[in-house]
Amino acid sequence: MSFAIGMMSGTSVDGIDVSLIEVKRRPKFVSSAFYPYPSEVKEFILKITTLEDLTYANFALGEMFAISAKKFIDSHEIEKNKILLISSHGQTIRHLPKFIKVWSVKVRGTLQIGDISVIAVRTGIITVGDFRPAHIAGGGEGAPLSPFFHREFFFSRNEKRVVVNIGGIANITFINSQPMLAFDTGPGNMVIDGVVKRLFGKEMDKDGKIASRGSANELIIKELLSHPFFKKKPPKSTGREDFGMPFIQKLISLSQEKNLSPEDIVSTASEITVRSIIDAIKRYSPYKPERIIICGGGAKNLYLLNRLKEELKVVTVSDEFGFPVKSVESAGFALMGYYLLKKIPNDPERRLLLGKVAFPHFKRVNS
C-alpha cells in the first residue's frame, strides 16, 4: 500500500486540515486531523501588510505545516516509507483574478505561502505545492482547483451530480458536464465568521445555532447580492478581496441602521451564502441535478445545510461517499500532488500539471 498526505488551510484561516489517502485506481480516504491556528497566528495572517511580514510568515507557516505533518504521522503511526509525498496547498494571502496591466503585460495573480522546501526538509518527505500559478499560466483564474478531485471522488455515470464546497469561499462543480463547469459562487463561511467575530467574539457560528435564532432581512440580502461578483458570468473566482472586512462592515452597518439584532445579522449573512449557491445552480446548471453533494466546513453549519435541503431537495453530504466534509479539500490536494509526481495532468480540462516539487535532504546510496 502507498499513501499521500494532503494539507490545506483555506480562506477562513482557521487552521490546517490534514488528510491521508491510499493512492490506487480509486483513491480511498483513510483518516484526517485538524490543527487549529493559535489566535495570534490568524490575526497576523489577516493583517499582513509589509514585505517583511510576508517573508517571515512564508517560512513560519512552512514550519507550522511541517509540525502538523509530523504530528499527524506520529499520532496515526504511519510507516514513513509508505508515504509517497506530502502535498500542501499552503495559505492563500491574496487572490487577484481580475486582469490588470503591469508594465506592458496583462496579468492576474494569486499567492499562497507556507514554503514547501521547509516541509520537505523537516519531514524528510518529498513535498508538492504551489498549484495555483500554473492554473493561471494556462489561462485559468487560479481557482477553483477542486473540480479535479470532485470528479475523481464523486463522479457517477448513473446519476447527475453537483458538488458544492462551502469553505471561506463557496465553489461549485457540475461534475457531469463536458467540458466540466466549475466556479466560485461567493462567500461561504467568510462573511458569517467575520460577523460572528465582531458581534459575539466567537470564531464561528457553531452548528448554525446563532443564525437559527435570528430572522434574515430581505432588503439587505437584496442589496448585498447586487455586488458585481454575483452578476459576473462563470468561470469566475473570488476571495477576501471581494468579501473581506469592507463587505462585512457594510453588512453590519446596514443591519444596525435597521436595528437588527445580532442574531438577525448572522442570519442575514448566512442567507447570502445560501442564496448565492442556490442562484448559481438554478442559473448555470447544464443539467437537472439528481444529487447535490455538500462538503467543506460549511456543511457542519446546520442552518446552511437545512436551508439548502429545503430549497434544493436532493442535498446530501460528502460523508455518505466516504469523505468527511472537512477533509475533502485536503484529501483532494493529496491526490493532486500524487498526479503531479506521476506526471498525469491534474488539471485535465487544460491538460496541465499543476504544482511544484521540493525534495528533502539528499541521501547518498553506497554502490
**C-alpha closest to that of 196 among 242, 246, 252:** 252
Question: What does the domain layout of the chain look like in residue ranges?
Answer: 3-142+327-358, 149-326
State the DSSP H helix or E strand holding residue 305, giving kind and residue range, or none if neither.
Answer: helix 302-312
Please give the backbone phi and psi of residue 123, each rounded to the nearest 5 degrees, phi first: -95, -20
Mean pLDDT value across residues 134-162: 96
Q: What is the DSSP letter of 24?
A: S
The helix-helix angle for 39-46 and 51-75 (nearest 10°) equals 140
pLDDT at 31 over 70: yes
pLDDT at 168 over 90: yes
The CATH architecture annotation of domain 3-142+327-358 reads 2-Layer Sandwich (3.30)
Q: Indicate the pLDDT class of residue 361, thresholds 50, 70 and 90.
A: confident
User: Does residue 179 have a cis peptide bond before it, meaning omega lies within 30 degrees of 0?
Assistant: yes
| Global pTM value | 0.95
pLDDT at 367 over 60: no
Mean pLDDT value across residues 87-102: 97
Q: What is the DSSP letter of 2?
A: -
Superfamily of domain 149-326 in CATH is ATPase, nucleotide binding domain (3.30.420.40)
